[in-house]
A = this chain, B = another copy of it.
Amino acid sequence: MKLFEYMAKEIFRNNGIPVPNGRVFSQAGDLAEFVSQNGAVAIKSQILSGGRGKAGGIKFATTPEEAVAKAGELLAADIKGLKVDKVLVEEKIAIDQEIYLAITVDGTRRKPVLLASMAGGVDIEQVPEEKLIKRLIDVSIGLNPYAAREITRQLGLTGSAAKEAADLMLKLYNVFRTYDAELVEINPLVIAKGHVLAADAKMTIDDECAYRYQPDVPIVDERTEAERKARDLGISYVELDGEIGVMANGAGITMATLDLIQEFGSSPRNFMDAGGGSGEEATAKALEILLETKPKALLINIFGGITRCDDVARAFVKVKNSMEINIPVVIRLVGTNEEAGISILRENGIDSYKKIDEAVSKVVALVKNEDSAAVVAAGDAVKA
């Protein structure tokens, strides 16, 4: 769950991290008073995407009239394909230095990692490795003053800026930990008149912990309507733009199924991991989501482990009985309660493949041949 800049800055401010004086607006007309009180301002479109500045999403103004006009432009615009609902208006900062600072998770080392560089203000992916400081954090002791001091030393900071930057790092780690963040990023952290200030702010909160932050932190959702529906079902679902709708169980096998569809010459309409242990009803709802995206064919690839083949079979029968399916469907069913699942499908006149290559080649062939059989029974599946 990503937060908008203005939300992240609100959290920063509440946790003692200095941010520029600013306010968020949805209506351009409302800016005038703030700008007349604060003078020169930056007007920043609130979108969940990097590279906002280059894309024209940040404008500057010195008078209320100019600010209202430019905010109006931004609020009417699409920046990087995203609609701008809000702008954050901040006092303009006289920047002396720009620093990159972030805390995220190093999956390989299983620990938080702090990243810092004096090459701030630019896309951090452009910064060469040797200019990027990486420091792993031991969660049992957290980030401590000595570590922050060592980082500011490596950055080459001195005097009050070094002290303030070190102090800010400790507070940023506190935010990272307290808000279950996956990422907190300040790019740039600026030094202006000897003091440090978070000129930008990015935060991504662990989706699994989002519930802890309602209503303090409003949930920002980048998902499509179907993705949200799937999420509510506890199903991993990503919309793609191909031909064949896919439901499988397990992220790995789902990815591999998409890969195979591509390998065999078609393309996937979606990624859908129906997960482990989903019951009959959830599986049925997941199938409904798939059908709503109007794929040319459906491939159901179930390898039962925690998922039981009989549940999937029952679910599919239920959906088949309750809604009209007018595209080809190929089912592959193997694993836990496989026999029960196959027999439920048989009782309902549906056969299933046991081998994945046969299932995939069949569904691709059906799409290519525009075959319109609703459910394909494959006698040769038994050979597997």
Contacts and interface: CB of A to CB of B under 8 A. Distances in A.
A141 to B, nearest CB: 8
Interface string A136-175: 0000110000000000000000000000000000000000
Contacts of A141: 140
Nearest to A140: B140
Nearest to A138: B140
Contacts of A140: 140-141
A interface SS class? loop
A104 B141 CA distance: 22
A140 B138 CA distance: 11
A140 B140 CA distance: 5
Nearest to A141: B140
A178 to B, nearest CB: 16
A182 to B, nearest CB: 22
A174 to B, nearest CB: 16
A141 B140 CA distance: 7
A66 B140 CA distance: 55
A67 to B, nearest CB: 46
Interface in A205-245: none
A349 to B, nearest CB: 51
A66 to B, nearest CB: 50
A261 B140 CA distance: 49
A141 B141 CA distance: 10
A377 B21 CA distance: 74
A103 B140 CA distance: 21
A185 B342 CA distance: 63
A101 B140 CA distance: 27
A115 to B, nearest CB: 25
A38 B130 CA distance: 71
2 contacts: A140-B140, A140-B141
Interface of A: 140-141
Q: Which are the 2 A-B pairs with shortest beta-carbon distances?
A: A140-B140, A140-B141
